[in-house]
Amino acid sequence: MTTPDTVETSAGWLSEDALEATRGRVPIVYVDAVPVRLDHLGRVERVGTLLRGRSDGTLSRAVVSGRVLYGESVRDALWRHLNKDLGADAEPQLPPSPAPFTVAEYFPESDRTGFHDPRQHAISLCYIVPVEGDCQPSRDALDFAWLTPEEALTSEVVAEMTGGQDRLLRLALAHVGRLP
């Protein structure tokens, strides 16, 4: 049995060439996690977004996202990416039986689903995850911000999102009844 501590998480699980070849032949499985802060009744008060640098030198606001590794459970992948992106003190609260609120299909073509990843066809299981601890961006994230649902969907914030991340955030907020 693999645990978050025993799953091989190095980028070498596939060489870059092998990963590129695989991306060109089969969909890759991902998880997307929308971090949220809840009030005492379990209603979403805030959503968390990361600010990341992109390969083209621009900045983009996004939710937590990443690949599911071979031999890794979806639950372990969620835990690993939440801790990697939000820091060890984030305290994500995964439910006993995580179920995605939606499934997003990312395509290299930007006009197919509203979700776009120029590198690959990816299938992402999308979750809303309450977070109770202190979040500090780590690794490739430059900043982390808690926003009200209204703030998260302003034209300024939406303009910072790419690849359908604004659409995913809107779907998450609609799912929990907080779409402004």
Mean pLDDT of 154-180: 95
pLDDT of amino acid 2: 46
Q: Is the pLDDT of residue 40 over 90?
A: yes
> What element of type H or E holds 89?
none
pLDDT of amino acid 162: 93
Strand partners, 13: none
Query: In the chain, what percentage of residues exceed pLDDT 70?
Result: 92
Write out pLDDT tens, residues 72-91.
Answer: 999 999 999 999 999 999 99
In angstroms, rounded to a whole number, what is the distance separating the alpha carbons of residues 120 and 55? 15
Contact 53, 142 (CB under 8 A): yes
Q: Is the pLDDT of residue 25 over 90?
A: no
Mean pLDDT of 94-99: 92
Cβ atoms within 10 Å of 131's Cβ, excluding its own? 22
- DSSP 8-class letter at 70: T
Give the chain's domains with CATH numbers.
Answer: 20-175 (3.90.79.10)
Task: Give the pLDDT band of residue 12 (cuts 50, 70, 90).
Answer: very low
Total residues belonging to the chain: 180
Task: Give the pLDDT band of residue 13 (cuts 50, 70, 90).
Answer: low
Write out pLDDT tens, residues 114-126.
Answer: 999 998 999 999 9
Higher model confidence: residue 52 or residue 127?
127
Q: Is the pLDDT of residue 145 over 70?
A: yes
Say which range, 4-13, 17-26, 101-110, has the weakest mean pLDDT.
Answer: 4-13
**Token pair recorded at residue 25:** 């032949």
pLDDT of amino acid 58: 86
pLDDT of amino acid 101: 97
In angstroms, rounded to a whole number, what is the distance separating the alpha carbons of residues 64 and 128? 10
pLDDT of amino acid 43: 97
